[in-house]
Structure formats: structure tokens, C-alpha cells
Amino acid sequence: MTDLVRRFVRPLGRVFGVLLVLILISVGALYLWPLDNDNLHPDPQTLTYAEASARITAQADAEKENPGIRPECRSLALLHGDVTAKAVLMLHGYTDCPAQYAELAQLYYQQGYNVFVPLAPRHGTVDRRAHADLTAQELANYATSSMDIAAALGKEAGAVGISGGGALATYLATTRPSQVQRLLVISPFYRPASGQAPAVVVKPFTVLFGFRLVPDHFNGNNFSFAALSQYLRLAAITDTGTRLPALRSVAVVTSANDTFIDLQQARKVPREIAETNNLSFVQFEIPAATGIGHDAVDPAGLGTEKASLYARYLGMYEGQATSQ
């Protein structure tokens, strides 16, 4: 009996040993998998106001002619007819659209800003799952080309972003140092909350779903894991140690009720950018008592807090608010 056991147990042990080695190699490969490449850093284009305005018009016309885009989700541009002292690019959140910023954009416009709120690729569509085919390259092209436009609309330009748009705004600040003078991120999605995905699995998750090595999955919020991974990929390649001589202000807004994002990371990333560039860092957390969660921009969810929050956002963007 002993010989029989040895005859089966020893080979079985070797098999498990080989499997363990293969598993460790596979896991290691996922952690070492490169997320960056040169194509994710398109060169900036210097446009005139007329060229930028023409691009906005062409984009608006294309969206009107596309039956797959919901009318309420088309790109939004509020322009004063010429270059203004200040311009701002507003980047909406994942699965949302420019309508999210309709009222906040008006506030900036009333303060003299030229405002551009472009529709992200595969968003605002009749097909509510079109975003599943999103790629990091599409997001990079969308964000950088939109920043080229915004930079031509004002003598000073900056970026505001919420959720996935916050990750894109941060990516822009660190990859377009001559174009982004101000940065405000609201509920930025740099990493999911630990309750959604522990930090240790974020890189493997990003690789497996982001490079479509495994089949996509939709959660209860109709979020595509493959699409979310494209935002995580750009967040991961954002270098907070980059020197940004043109950057003048950095600010972040988070909500105590937000269960979607890693709140610590949401504050850490912009803080590191500010520290690298010797800038004051402005942060504000929306109290839990307000009932406001992850979407801290859409007026429909802000209730009586809307006016005060919008005024605070503008002040923080301009570097006028004090840290809280």
C-alpha cells in the first residue's frame, strides 16, 4: 500500500508544483505587463480660434447626423465668439454625457469662459452598451484633441473632469504641460474602491479586461469591465512626478458617500502633482449629510446644495478656495 501511495502521490506532487510555477509566472506576467506606449501620447496641435471653432462645428454636425447618438447627449460648446482670457475643457464621466455639465458650464460661461464639453467616444448612444468597445487609444485621442481645441479658445486653459473624466483630465495635465494651466477633478476614478476591487487586483484586472484577454463582464450598474479598464490604464500611466511649469492650480472634490472610487487615491494623485510643482493643493469633501454620492456634478442629484457647490467648484478651479 505504501508503494502504491508513493507511486501516485509523488507524480501528483510534481504536477501541482508545475501548476503552481505556471500560476506564479502568469500572475507575474500580468503585473509586469506594460500599459503605456507612444501612441497614448499624441503630439499637441496648435490651433487658431477659427480652426478650433470649425472643429467644434464639424463635431456638432456629425453628432446631429448620427442617429445612434441621443440628442440630449451631444457635445456642448458655449463660446463668446472670440478668444477669451479663460477657457475650460469639461470631461464627463463614464457612461454619462455632456448633459451632466449643462448648468456648471453655464456658470463658467457667465464668468467669461469659453467652455467646451465634448462627448466621449461610444458614449451618449442609443445602444446603452456601446461603451463596452471603448479603447484606451480612443480615450487618449478624444482627450488630447479636445484639449487642443480648448487651448485655442482662451489665453489660459484648464481641465475639469468627473469620475472617468477626472482620470482623463489628470492624464492631460501631466501629458500636455503647455496647455493645462488649471486642474479640477471631481470624484476622480483613478482606482475603484476597495469594496469594488482591492488595490492588489487592479493591475491584473486592467490587463485581463483592458486587453480583452478574458470575456467582458457587465456589473449591476451596466458598467463594462473592459471599458472601465481603459480609464484605469490611462490613470496608471499618469506620472505625478512630472514637472509642469505652466500649471497654476490643482484641486479635488470627493464625496463622503462615494462607494465607487478609492477616496484615498482620489486625493493622493492630485496632491502629488501639486507637491511636485510647489503648488497649493485645494481639496474638499462633500459631507455625508448632503446625501450626494459619486456624481457630484449633475444638477439632478445636488438638490439645494447645487448653487453653493457650483460656486465652490469654480473657486477651487481658479485656486481661490482654501483647503478643507
Kindly state the DSSP code that residue 93 receives in the 8-state scheme. Answer: P
Contact status, residue 192 vs residue 202, Cβ threshold 8 Å: yes
Strands 281-286 and 182-186: unpaired
- The confidence score (pLDDT) of residue 29 equals 79
The full DSSP string for 230-298 is HHHHHHHT--TT---TT--EEEEEEETT--SB-HHHHHHHHHHHHHHTT--EEEEEE-GGG---S--S-
Cα–Cα dist 309/254, whole Å: 12
Topology at the third CATH level for domain 42-317: Rossmann fold (3.40.50)
Q: How far is residue 324 from each of residues 79, 102, 236, 254, measured CA to CA in Å? A: 33, 27, 27, 11
pLDDT on residue 81: 97
pLDDT of residue 3: 59
Model confidence, pTM: 0.92
Residue 294: is it exposed, middle or buried by C-beta count within 10 angstroms (0-12/13-18/19+)? buried
Domain ranges of the chain: 1-32, 42-317
pLDDT at 238: 96
From the number of C-beta atoms within 10 Å of its C-beta (0-12, 13-18, 19+), residue 4 rates as exposed
pLDDT in tens, the chain (324 residues): 565 555 544 554 454 444 444 444 556 678 999 999 999 999 999 999 999 999 999 999 999 999 999 999 999 999 999 999 999 999 999 999 999 999 999 999 999 999 999 999 999 999 989 999 999 999 999 999 999 999 999 999 999 999 999 999 999 999 999 999 999 999 999 999 998 889 999 999 999 999 999 999 999 999 999 999 999 999 999 999 999 999 999 999 999 999 999 999 999 999 999 999 999 999 999 999 999 999 999 999 999 999 999 999 999 999 986 544
The angle that helices 136-153 and 164-175 make with each other, rounded to 10 degrees, is 70
CA distance linking residue 179 with residue 116, whole number of Å: 14
How far apart (Å, rounded) are the C-alpha atoms in residues 29 and 22? Answer: 10
Sheet strands (E) in the chain: 76-78, 84-91, 114-117, 154-162, 182-186, 249-255, 281-286
* Residue linked to cell 458650464: 105
